[in-house]
């Protein structure tokens, strides 16, 4: 009964209802699209952490997940750290960005096995040590359309593409990998590196080894647990920030719904008064108006989510820097937010409708 009345009311002003739904759809689109970036970053960070299981990561002081590319260490630290008791293996890594290229990962190819990752070559081969060659990440190759045999010129050096990596879901997918000495050359980091990966003899000694390196050198050494804690703080703050920014548009749309519902209540004063005179309870009046607002919101949410799926695909094809992901948890969060928005937007107009006195309304309307 109430549902039929609500549908009838929504159909009375089709243009007004459609514009309100569109406003909600745009708000939900922004919430979902922005939040999908933080979800994608969270997934990538968690994947990266799984590769660093049992590994100590050494960077310059005050470097976080956002500023890894700014880390710069003296290459001479490698031998010093390698000489510590309890150290099994060390691997230097360079992370940077190049014009016409994007994200660059430089590593001695013999050191790749220090990571807990299967680096599979889907096409071609690995670059040879010291050669002006590179291998593309899976997503990078798909986005740019580059293939084995092509060349990229950057900073006066021509680098030949000799292979394409298989999909890993790590940051390497969206960049290129090259020998460490070549990365040092093109990034102007002679005798410098970004990160030192340290593998302890026993994985259980990673935290103790990280504390020892911290105390001996002017660097920042993070065990897997340290990195996970820092990453959790970063991704949590990012999720809150992106959801909050997108929510502003959705809240504006909610104010629009509230305005429309107030207009609807004022236009239907006589009808509502008649319903109350015929025995409609306050609860029924409240339910009708709130349900109307919820339906408008949920229709807008459904359209916004469909638009978001398309927007995320477009964004992922336009950038190799990061990947946007719409996860089930994000869909649940957006739906709950939309429900809250609908209830909140309809509650105050519903209270106004419920307070109408039949005798007064029918006398003056």
Integer Cα distance of 235 and 327 in angstroms: 15
**Cβ contacts of residue 210 below 8 Å, gap of 6+?**
56, 221, 222, 223, 226
Residue 87 sits at φ, ψ, to 5 deg, of: -95, 125
Higher-confidence residue: 306 or 274? 306
Which of these ranges, 168-172, 212-216, 254-258, 303-307, has the smallest mean pLDDT?
Answer: 168-172
Q: State residue 40's pLDDT score.
A: 77
Helix axis angle, 206-216 to 224-267, nearest 10° = 100
Higher-confidence residue: 111 or 328? 328
Integer Cα distance of 269 and 285 in angstroms: 12
- State yes or no: pLDDT of 339 exceeds 70: yes
Domain residue ranges in the chain: 2-44+233-364, 55-222
Q: State residue 5's pLDDT score.
A: 59
- pTM for the full predicted model: 0.60
Of 24, 19, 1, 29, the C-alpha closest to 344 is: 24
Integer Cα distance of 176 and 165 in angstroms: 9
Higher-confidence residue: 167 or 306? 306
Chain segment 126-176, per-residue pLDDT in tens: 888 888 999 998 888 888 889 999 998 888 888 999 999 888 766 677 788
Of 148, 342, 167, the C-alpha closest to 256 is: 342
Place of tokens 């005050």: 62
Categorize the per-residue pLDDT at 314 as very low, low, confident or very high, splitting at 50, 70 and 90.
confident
- Sign for the CA dihedral angle at 226, 230, 236, 238 comes to negative
Two structure tokens written together for 189: 């980091």
Q: State residue 243's pLDDT score.
A: 77
Q: State residue 30's pLDDT score.
A: 83
Categorize the per-residue pLDDT at 108 as very low, low, confident or very high, splitting at 50, 70 and 90.
confident
Categorize the per-residue pLDDT at 364 as very low, low, confident or very high, splitting at 50, 70 and 90.
very low
Question: What mean pLDDT is predicted for residues 79-93?
Answer: 88
Question: What mean pLDDT is predicted for residues 357-364?
Answer: 52
Integer Cα distance of 74 and 168 in angstroms: 30
Question: What mean pLDDT is predicted for residues 223-237?
Answer: 72
The β-bridge partners of 167 are: none
Categorize the per-residue pLDDT at 65 as very low, low, confident or very high, splitting at 50, 70 and 90.
low
Chain segment 284-297, per-residue pLDDT in tens: 777 777 888 888 88
**In the 3-class helix/strand/coil scheme, how is the chain assigned residue by residue?**
CHHHHHHHHHHHCHHHHHHHHHHHHHHHHHHHHHHHHHHHHHHHHHHHHHHCCCCEEEECCCCCHHHHHHCCEECCHHHHHHCCCCEEEEEEEEEEEECCCEEEEEECHHHHHHCCCCCCEEEECCCCCCCCEEEECHHHHHHHCCCCCCEEEECCEEEEEEEEECCCCCHHHHEEEECHHHHHHHCCCCCEECEEEEEECCHHHHHHHHHHHHHHCCCEEECHHHHHHHHHHHHHHHHHHHHHHHHHHHHHHHHHHHHHHHHHHHHCHHHHHHHHHCCCCHHHHHHHHHHHHHHHHHHHHHHHHHHHHHHHHHHHHHCCCCCCCCCHHHHHHHHHHHHHHHHHHHHHHHHHHHCCCHHHHHHHC
Mean pLDDT is highest, among 46-55, 317-326, 327-336, for: 327-336
Helix axis angle, 269-277 to 282-318, nearest 10° = 130
Of 103, 42, 37, the C-alpha closest to 68 is: 103
């Amino acid at each position: 009964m109430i549902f039929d009345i609500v549908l009838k009311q929504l159909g009375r002003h089709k243009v007004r209802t459609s514009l309100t739904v569109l406003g909600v759809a745009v708000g939900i689109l922004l919430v979902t699209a922005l939040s999908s970036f933080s979800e994608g970053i969270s997934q990538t960070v968690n994947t990266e952490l799984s590769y660093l299981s049992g590994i100590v990561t050494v960077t310059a002081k005050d470097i976080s997940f956002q500023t890894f590319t700014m880390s710069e260490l003296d290459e001479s630290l490698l031998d010093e750290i390698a000489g510590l008791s309890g150290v099994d293996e060390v691997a230097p890594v360079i992370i940077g960005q190049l014009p016409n290229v994007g994200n660059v990962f430089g590593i001695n190819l013999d050191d790749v096995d220090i990571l807990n990752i299967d680096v599979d070559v889907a096409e071609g081969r690995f670059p040879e040590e010291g050669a002006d060659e590179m291998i593309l990440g899976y997503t990078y190759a798909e986005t740019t359309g580059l293939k084995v045999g092509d060349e990229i010129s950057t900073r006066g050096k021509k680098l030949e593409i000799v292979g394409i990596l298989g999909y890993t879901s790590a940051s390497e997918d969206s960049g290129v990998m090259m020998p460490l000495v070549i990365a040092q050359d093109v990034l102007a980091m002679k005798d410098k590196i970004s990160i030192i990966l340290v593998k302890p003899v026993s994985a259980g000694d990673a935290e103790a080894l990280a504390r020892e390196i911290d105390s001996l050198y002017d660097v920042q050494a993070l065990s897997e647990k340290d990195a996970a804690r820092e990453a959790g703080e970063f991704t949590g703050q990012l999720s809150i920030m992106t959801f909050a920014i997108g929510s502003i548009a959705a809240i504006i749309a909610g104010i629009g719904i509230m305005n429309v519902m107030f207009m609807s209540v004022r236009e239907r004063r006589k009808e509502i008064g008649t319903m109350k005179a015929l025995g409609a309870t306050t609860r029924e009046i409240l339910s009708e108006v709130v349900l109307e607002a919820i339906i408008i919101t949920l229709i807008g949410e459904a359209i916004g989510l469909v638009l978001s799926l398309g927007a995320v695909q477009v964004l992922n094809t336009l950038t190799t820097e990061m990947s946007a992901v719409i996860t089930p948890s994000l869909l649940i969060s957006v739906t709950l937010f939309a429900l809250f928005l609908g209830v909140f937007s309809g509650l105050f107009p519903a209270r106004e409708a419920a307070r109408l006195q039949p005798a007064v309304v029918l006398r003056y309307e």
